[in-house]
Structure 1
Amino acid sequence: MNKIDKHNRLAEEIFSYKVTKDNKVFIYWCGKQVTILVGKQRDKFLERIHGAEPLEAQLIMAKVTGNFKRGNERTVNGKSEYGS
Structure 2
Amino acid sequence: MPPPQGFRYEEHADGTVVITHRHRPAGTLRGGRAGRFLAEIAAGDPQLVMARWTGNYRHGNERTARGHPRNRR
More helix by share: 2
**Segments of 4+ in structure 1 off by > 2 A?**
none
When the two structures are superposed, what TM-score results if normalisation uses the length of structure 1?
A: 0.60
Decide which of 7, 17, 24 is 1:32's aligned counterpart: 24
**Structure 1: which amino acid aligns with 2:39?**
E
Which residues of structure 1 form unaligned runs of 5+? 1-5, 69-84
Instruction: Measure the CA separation in 2 of the matches of 1:24 and 1:67.
Output: 20
Which residues of structure 2 form unaligned runs of 5+? 58-73
How high is the sequence identity, in percent, across the aligned residues? Answer: 30
> Against the structure 1 CA distance between its residues 31 and 50, is the aligned structure 2 distance closer, same or farther, given a 3 Å change threshold?
same
Structural RMSD (CA) = 1.8
Alignment correspondent of 2:54: 65
